[in-house]
Amino acid sequence: MKATIEFDDALYRRLKVEAARRGRTVRDLVADGVRHVLGLAQPSDARAESAAWFGSLRDYAANARGAHGLAAMRRSIARGRESRRA
């Protein structure tokens, strides 16, 4: 079932960064949070495995240093590329 949820902009940006850091999707983190609140067991991690490529953003998210805008993420990616070349 699909649902529309409205988040505060700052909260959603933090959620997106955390999802990237964990190599998960926002959808997965929200579903995990709902399961946690309801006291339900977590399902197998099949969906997270199918999105393994998403985990590559983890390093870039860690370099964001508290700023979550598009320009800050671009700077973070550039910093990550520069540090890997050195």
Give the model confidence (pLDDT) of 5-61 as tens digits.
999 999 999 999 999 988 899 999 999 999 999 998 877 655 555 555 555 566 666
pLDDT at 77 over 60: yes
**Residue of 50, 19, 47 whose CA lies nearest to 33:** 19
Output the six-digit token pair for 73: 């993420």
Q: For position 73, what pLDDT does the model report? A: 76
Residue 58 has φ and ψ, to the nearest 5°, of -55, -45
How far is Cα of residue 44 from the mean position of the Cα atoms in its chain? 19
Q: For position 1, what pLDDT does the model report? A: 86
Whole-structure pTM over 0.75, yes or no? no
Distance (Å, whole) CA 35 – CA 23? 19
Q: For position 79, what pLDDT does the model report? A: 81
